[in-house]
């Protein structure tokens, strides 16, 4: 398929029927609307383009900055769109909670303003919400801003009224599904799609999913925050249910491992919420029904989010040469020498002094003629084998002599005959009054 | 579901609150309000912070931020336990010296009056300098009186951050990090009177990224010192580690949800005059920000410090603790609220319980300045201590009125739910209030009395009490003879 503009590729995403063997629903065909197929990677491409497109010409003439309150996919899509039109983009956010997205936004050329955290000692007069602060920023500035205002902008809903909703109906041969389940972030996609489906069939059941308050799910608001959203209207939903971060990750795993859909946690939450809701309905049914949920974006940006909550999923195979396998006996056998002996040894034997601290600290002060190999790097080197000859005596140095002792034990196990650890580390060296230099 | 906010109480505090006969006797004798402090809890709290430093192999000192509580018993107990003390006024410095802190363990912080600075210099305590002008003033003072060199730290502010623009509220304290050069010029000039031992920051925020950026800024400032041949070796990262006030996170979550619904008019008001704690209803949408302390904080105190130290520095790419250790720096911390976790309670007598329309009003013999939970936005329920031998009534939702003849004097604007309707003569205990919430603001408005403070100690299972000013750790433990 040929295109002239990447923005023409927004929308017309696939609707995929999921294998009943995976979700276990007997009487319901469950479809995933694969919004991760949008060109910038998420459902927000639609809203971003819908909100920005009509104003881009004027913004370009005036040299405006595009600005949005977002720490996720809307910011990503707007950063791309702004960049393509030669406009700067600024994202204002409480906190960038997903590091990969932060790096991606910086890569795309976005400027990110993180608002201050809450004061430890309460200042009751400080009651500004991020949106108010942003409006102050926009009002107080001389230069122009194109503020897309995703939480209040009707064009956000419009993108789904004219795109996502009709696409679903068309793909189901002109019929609305019986159930539609969506996560509520800006409420744009859920409200927009719900409007279209209800228009086709007033009996469609719409379920909105919000996050539990104890943990966050990227792109979903919790039950309190949802009331701050200008586009949120409880009337659009037959029921509002909560979903936990844990459930969202369960859903993500099912989608990525069993369905071939590389969905992020929001899509995972929608799947898990859909199956939970529909399982209860399924048991009562005697005829076939259809249900649709939205997969918002892709999994790759959420590695650290998942790792933080499910470290076991990233379990690495044991390393061959690793200090983690050092036994207490090996550690006791490793040679350690105190500061006066070390000074003599360095002077007489010309041993290599390897400083395992970080380069920042090494630059500040170190033992004369020592070599800096930061511990992470040293671990990598040792993994591959001995990083120096057996006839070369080595003195290992770390802050307090613990890390260096473990490496001395490991190198001894690997067959090095004369590797020693500086007892008490460089702190003992300093406290003994021995010389430290800056080069 | 009743919107309770049950305070978190650990064994020692819980055991003290169980002594209802003793507590009633004390209030009968000494009057309401009455402050109760538990010096016996401090050792455990101090050990928690030291354990974090030890786990990261970091040498350093835990300085209690005195301003969190004026109690002599607490300060003397900390002196005996070998802690440090952060003093922020002339009075606090005198108190510290009188409690037995040696000058090496006292750090003078904050804005300083001439007498405060003079006594700090003469006593030889560490001066944590707020501004460059203060450094100059101190140098002149030391020279004029021929005093020994004074150890100083420089408090820095206005840090910048790599990658994203981490915004911080502007602080009225400290020297902008951009002026480190000027500070070092000054210190080199006054090398005979001032000895630079390190850099400091203190940010009033719960935001880890802001603190990580500040710590990184201090590391870079220390590097600038090394480039000039100066050898400071301590970083002071202040306090602000927080306290978890509530027993149950689920209560906090459902309470704040209910409050939001009340602001939207979807349920009856939960506060006096429909106060929204910063939230307001604009056309059916919630605006503003919930301006209260996050009473349930799963990561607080020493655990928060641990998380900060484990944070990877954004530009130096190693955990902050590793960077400190690599550089052989000592790490000083100044917890106030967190070090006083579980260390006390404020008791107030119920004077009157009356029904007013649909509401129940409970008038107490203390006011909002005696227990400043409302000013600090800490939402937690008091504990009812009925008069011994009196059976409790039915559960009740009540408003707590203070003893000042002022419309605004409510102990909290929340309707507070109690497991039993209080009766006149009962006590309400506002627990875990030792850090900032006790008599921080207490005064003689309307000539009402300011609370007495008593120290409660438990020895061999028996509780004993003495007036705060008469508490001395060694004497109380009966270690003599």
Interface confidence (ipTM) of the complex: 0.76
Domain encompassing residue A338: 323-431
Residue A381, helix vs strand vs coil: helix
Q: Is the pLDDT of residue B98 over 70?
A: yes
Closest by Cα among B452, B345, B243 to B12: B345
Same domain assignment for residues A296 and A407: no
Domain edge (last residue) among A267, A296, A315: A315
Same domain assignment for residues A395 and A256: no
Residues B345-354 have a mean pLDDT of 97
Same domain assignment for residues A342 and A407: yes
Same domain assignment for residues A238 and A375: no
* Residue A141, pLDDT score: 64
The pairing of strands B427-431 and B84-87 is unpaired
In chain A, positions 230-249, which contact chain B (CB-CB < 8 Å)? 230
Same domain assignment for residues A77 and A198: yes
Residue A152 or residue B124, greater confidence: B124
CB of A131 within 8 Å of any CB in chain B?
yes
Confidence of residue A224 (pLDDT cuts 50, 70, 90): confident
Residues B264-292 have a mean pLDDT of 89
Domain edge (last residue) among A315, A333, A356: A315
Could you give the C-alpha distances from A167 to A185, B33, B55, in angstroms and in order?
21, 68, 57
Give the CATH number, domain containing residue A165.
3.40.50.1100
Same domain assignment for residues A177 and A105: yes
**Which residue's structure tokens are 């040696």?**
B102
Residues B83-105 have a mean pLDDT of 97
- Domains identified in chain A, total number: 2
CA distance B466 to chain A (A): 31
CA distance B167 to chain A (A): 5
Same domain assignment for residues A409 and A427: yes
Substitution target from A227, A339, A365 for chain B, most B beta carbons within 10 A: A227
With pLDDT > 70 as the criterion, what percentage of chain B qualifies? 98
Is residue A439 one of the residues assigned to a domain?
Answer: no
Residues B437-453 have a mean pLDDT of 93
Residues from chain A contacting residue B278 (CB–CB below 8 Å):
124, 127
With pLDDT > 90 as the criterion, what percentage of chain A qualifies? 75
Same domain assignment for residues A153 and A237: yes
Same domain assignment for residues A172 and A224: yes
Confidence of residue A226 (pLDDT cuts 50, 70, 90): confident
* Residue B475, pLDDT score: 53
Q: Is the pLDDT of residue B289 over 90?
A: no
Is residue A436 one of the residues assigned to a domain?
Answer: no
Is residue A437 one of the residues assigned to a domain?
Answer: no
Confidence of residue A240 (pLDDT cuts 50, 70, 90): very high
Helices (H), A44-97: 44-52, 56-62, 73-84
Same domain assignment for residues A299 and A337: no
Sequence-distant (≥ 6) Cβ neighbours of residue B14 within 8 angstroms? none
Same domain assignment for residues A7 and A130: yes
Do residues A106 and B163 touch, judged by C-beta distance below 8 A? Answer: yes
CA atoms of A64 and A86, how far apart (whole Å):
10
Residues B257-282 have a mean pLDDT of 91
Could you give the C-alpha distances from B230 to A365, A432, B155, B223, in angstroms and in order?
12, 18, 17, 9
Same domain assignment for residues A83 and A138: yes
CA atoms of B230 and B114, how far apart (whole Å):
28
User: Would you call B316 and A358 a contact, using CB atoms and an 8 Å cutoff?
Assistant: yes
pTM, full prediction: 0.86
Q: Is the pLDDT of residue B127 over 80?
A: yes
Is residue A76 one of the residues assigned to a domain?
Answer: yes
Q: Is the pLDDT of residue A319 over 80?
A: no
Residues B40-57 have a mean pLDDT of 97
User: Would you call A365 and B328 a contact, using CB atoms and an 8 Å cutoff?
Assistant: yes
């Amino acid at each position: 398929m040929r295109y002239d503009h990447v923005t023409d590729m927004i929308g017309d995403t696939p609707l995929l029927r999921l294998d009943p063997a995976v979700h276990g629903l007997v009487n319901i065909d469950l479809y995933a609307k694969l919004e991760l197929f949008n060109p910038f990677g998420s459902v927000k491409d639609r809203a971003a383009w819908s909100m920005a497109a009509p104003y881009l010409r004027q913004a370009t003439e005036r040299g405006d900055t595009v600005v949005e309150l977002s720490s996720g996919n809307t910011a990503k899509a707007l950063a791309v769109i702004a960049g393509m039109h030669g406009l700067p983009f600024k994202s204002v956010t409480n906190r960038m909670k997903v590091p990969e997205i932060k790096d991606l936004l910086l890569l795309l050329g976005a400027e990110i303003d993180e608002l201050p955290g809450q004061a430890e000692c309460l200042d009751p007069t400080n009651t500004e919400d991020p949106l108010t602060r942003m409006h102050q920023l926009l009002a107080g500035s001389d230069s122009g801003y194109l503020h897309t205002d995703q939480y209040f902008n009707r064009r956000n809903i419009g993108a789904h009224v004219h795109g996502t909703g009709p696409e679903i109906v068309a793909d189901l041969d002109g019929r609305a599904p019986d159930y539609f389940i969506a996560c509520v972030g800006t409420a744009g996609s859920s409200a927009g799609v719900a409007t279209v489906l209800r228009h086709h069939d007033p009996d469609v059941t719409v379920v909105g999913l919000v996050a539990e308050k104890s943990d966050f799910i990227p792109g979903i608001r919790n039950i309190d925050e949802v009331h701050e959203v200008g586009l949120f209207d409880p009337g659009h939903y037959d029921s509002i249910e909560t979903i936990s971060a844990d459930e969202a990750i369960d859903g993500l795993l099912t989608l990525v491992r069993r369905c071939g859909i590389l969905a992020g946690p929001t899509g995972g939450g929608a799947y898990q919420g859909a199956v939970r809701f529909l399982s209860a309905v399924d048991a009562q049914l005697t005829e076939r029904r259809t249900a649709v949920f939205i997969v918002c974006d892709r999994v790759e940006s959420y590695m650290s989010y998942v790792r933080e909550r499910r470290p076991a999923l990233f379990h690495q195979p044991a390393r061959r040469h690793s200090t983690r396998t050092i036994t207490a006996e090996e550690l006791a056998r490793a040679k350690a020498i105190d500061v006066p002996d070390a000074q003599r040894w360095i002077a007489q034997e010309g041993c290599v002094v390897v400083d395992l601290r970080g380069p920042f600290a090494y630059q500040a002060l170190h033992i004369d003629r020592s070599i800096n190999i930061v511990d992470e790097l040293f671990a990598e080197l040792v993994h591959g084998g001995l990083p120096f000859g057996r006839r070369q005596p080595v003195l290992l140095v770390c802050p307090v002599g613990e890390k260096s002792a473990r490496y001395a034990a490991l190198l001894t196990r690997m067959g090095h005959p004369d590797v020693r650890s500086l007892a008490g580390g460089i702190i003992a060296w300093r406290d003994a009054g021995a010389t430290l230099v800056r080069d | 579901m009743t919107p309770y906010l049950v305070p978190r109480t650990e064994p020692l505090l819980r055991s003290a609150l169980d002594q209802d006969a003793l507590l009633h006797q004390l209030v009968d004798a000494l009057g309401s309000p009455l402050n109760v402090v538990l010096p016996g809890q401090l050792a455990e709290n101090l050990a928690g912070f030291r354990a974090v430093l030890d786990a990261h192999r970091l040498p350093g000192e835990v300085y209690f931020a005195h301003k969190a509580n004026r109690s002599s018993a607490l300060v003397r107990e900390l002196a005996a336990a070998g802690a440090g003390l952060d003093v922020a006024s002339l009075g606090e410095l005198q108190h510290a010296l009188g409690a037995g802190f040696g000058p090496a363990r006292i750090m003078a912080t904050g804005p300083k009056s001439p007498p405060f600075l003079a006594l700090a210099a003469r006593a030889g305590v560490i001066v944590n300098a707020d501004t460059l002008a203060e450094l100059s003033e101190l140098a002149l003072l030391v020279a004029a009186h021929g005093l020994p060199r004074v150890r100083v730290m420089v408090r820095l502010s206005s840090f910048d951050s790599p990658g994203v623009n981490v915004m911080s509220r502007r602080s009225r304290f400290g020297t902008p990090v951009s002026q480190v050069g000027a500070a070092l010029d000054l210190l080199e000039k006054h090398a005979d009177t001032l000895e630079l031992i390190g850099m400091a920051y203190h940010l009033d925020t719960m935001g880890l990224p802001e603190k990580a950026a500040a710590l990184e800024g201090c590391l870079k400032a220390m590097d600038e010192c090394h480039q000039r041949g100066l050898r400071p070796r301590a970083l002071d990262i202040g306090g602000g580690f927080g306290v978890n006030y509530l027993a149950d996170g689920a209560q906090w979550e459902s309470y704040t949800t209910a409050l939001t619904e009340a602001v939207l008019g979807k349920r009856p008001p939960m506060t006096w005059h429909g106060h929204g704690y910063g939230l307001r209803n604009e056309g059916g949408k919630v605006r503003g920000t919930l301006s209260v302390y996050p009473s349930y904080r799963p990561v607080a105190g020493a655990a928060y410090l641990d998380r900060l130290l484990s944070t990877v520095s954004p530009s130096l790419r190693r955990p902050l603790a590793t960077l400190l250790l690599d550089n052989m720096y000592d790490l000083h911390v100044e917890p106030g609220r967190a070090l006083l976790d579980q260390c006390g309670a404020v008791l107030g007598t119920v004077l009157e319980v009356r029904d007013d329309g649909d509401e129940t009003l409970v008038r107490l013999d203390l006011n909002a300045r005696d227990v400043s939970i409302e000013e600090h936005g800490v939402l937690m329920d008091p504990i009812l201590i009925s008069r011994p031998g009196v059976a409790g009534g039915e559960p009740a939702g009540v408003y707590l009125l203070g003893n000042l003849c002022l419309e605004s004097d409510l102990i909290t604007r929340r309707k507070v739910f109690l497991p039993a309707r209080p009766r006149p003569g009962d006590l309400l205990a506002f627990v875990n209030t030792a850090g900032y919430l006790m008599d921080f603001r207490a005064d003689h408005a309307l000539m009402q009395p300011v609370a007495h403070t008593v120290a409660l100690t438990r020895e061999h299972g028996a509780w004993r009490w003495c007036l705060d000013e008469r508490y001395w750790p060694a004497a109380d433990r009966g270690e003599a003879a």
